[in-house]
Structure 1
């Protein structure tokens, strides 16, 4: 059995779908379906069982035996970077992750979990998997950072696989339920379909209008990285998961416009509340991932948007 937490969410549901394509359906899907709109992500999936995350955590804490578990792929989290209830964020993102780690270590079960490029903060010291580069600037980032620190302390030299994947700016099908936290590809495509205009932030931090750069990574590529580690249980550590080739917000908007065959760009004032708390540039350092043996290419924004928006986003 493979357990996927956050399995009704964005990346999690795409992982389950990829496992189904491999003919794997002995899957326990764990999530919180209080937001029932996420059912759109799982209606076509084949799974063995579903469990609410709090019930699952209770079983984990009571050392429940789920059967022959090959791996836990932990994608469940509070992903809102605007959530400032630190107690809540640490319970969901830190305590939950620790409990799963200890359960896996005690049973030599592979543990592949979602970290985040947000741990690098404003990126002033680079984007390398090194403490010298890490300085989180919000609660979400801190919760991910602190769990990575816990892994470094408690999983070093573990007999079983532990892998953390620091996702950069992920976009693709299955994110509609995320609302304001959905990707720019999602928002630009919806804006253009509804109004004909993609609204981008004006320049800030020395960048011209729309020229801020992010490492936009297609969700299918993130899934491929997860499954590669699942196939290589001897590989372990914390790794960046991005393209290593940042592109501008203008590039993203132009790719959406080209795919839809309509639309134009409009720049809006940069919000005061985001000044000093906004990543104007991100770029995954892929040296460690490549050294581990992962050599597959990553889609450009133009390729990813064609696969995503061309297939029906923003409702996908």
Structure 2
């Protein structure tokens, strides 16, 4: 589905983090719906490097881009020579900045700030020199334990990742005052859908529960999972918000969710229905009480007004759409 009618013929689009979950979905959206646009994907791709917590430093994976026909560049957004090369040898019209350290449990504060904040400033400068509109990934992690519904201006990050994203937002606001390009930050809530498998343990519980069920394992949930609520949003609606942010009514920071909180128990129940399973749920004590959000729900009022965004998928429809991919990934990557 096309989300804008604008002709992108001869326009050049840069997608950082383009081999990741959201970036690769954006790349295919433009390839499929705006084939006359030139799409350049930049990603550091994965190596064996890990953080101190054992998780990979980069989740970018070539398999997310199989079938993509645009240009692919392997590189790190912290590499100033690379950014200079991009500035000199390309002329971008739009920049979708998805590259980041997105592991909320990473403890390397120095690298988190360098990658998520300082490199973003360099990309903003590039965007200004190219007169390119900037659309970047912020995060609901900026809200921490703020009460629902979460609204822009009520931030209380609880980890360095959330702090880094809030710092990006604050930096963006300063640039909005001074430059002519549009700058839009999108605060993603709990995203799920095709392309997330290579995020490993940070992939959504929709995928993880789906694979537990396909393996014949009883799904394991925290006690009172019917009372642990999140704003889960399908990847198709994330793409919609990004595309509509290309030409907003005004620059700003906007929530991207459904505006409706759903429980982890809902996820399992819908998956069981779609997969035709009836496994018994196992409930385990929640070790994160006191440090765990029990309710998130995006206030998307301004997102609707300024971007013309309207979530299309409720969870039942989204999981039904996603379940074929969950099975394919299980057969090809897990079994």
- 2:132 pairs, out of 82, 105, 109, with 109
Residue number in structure 1 paired with 2:54:
none
Mapped contact 1:163–1:237 kept (Cα < 8 A): yes
Deviation at 1:44, TM superposition (A): 1.1
Whether 1:26 aligns to 2:66 is: no
Counterpart secondary structure, 2:181: coil
What TM-score do the two structures reach when normalised by structure 1? 0.90
Whether 1:43 aligns to 2:66 is: yes
Residue number in structure 2 paired with 1:251:
266
Whether 1:262 aligns to 2:277 is: yes
What TM-score do the two structures reach when normalised by structure 2? 0.85
Counterpart secondary structure, 2:180: coil
- 1:190 pairs, out of 181, 187, 211, with 211
Whether 1:214 aligns to 2:237 is: no
Q: Distance in 2 between matches of 1:69 and 1:62?
A: 12
Deviation at 1:213, TM superposition (A): 0.6
Gaps of 5+ in 2: 1-11, 48-58, 331-335
Deviation at 1:202, TM superposition (A): 1.0
Whether 1:201 aligns to 2:222 is: yes
Q: Distance in 1 between matches of 2:163 and 2:74?
A: 27
Cα–Cα, structure 1 residues 293 and 166, in superposed 2: closer, same or farther, change >3 Å? closer
Q: How does 1:1-316 map to 2 (within 5 A)?
A: 1-22=12-33, 23-24=35-36, 26-35=38-47, 38-54=61-77, 57-61=80-84, 64-124=87-147, 126-130=149-153, 133-203=154-224, 209-230=225-246, 232=247, 234-272=249-287, 274-313=288-327, 315=329
Mapped contact 1:161–1:234 kept (Cα < 8 A): no
Gaps of 5+ in 1: 204-208
Deviations 1:208-238 (A, max 9, x none): x4321100000111001111122x2553211
Moved more, 47-56 or 185-194: 47-56
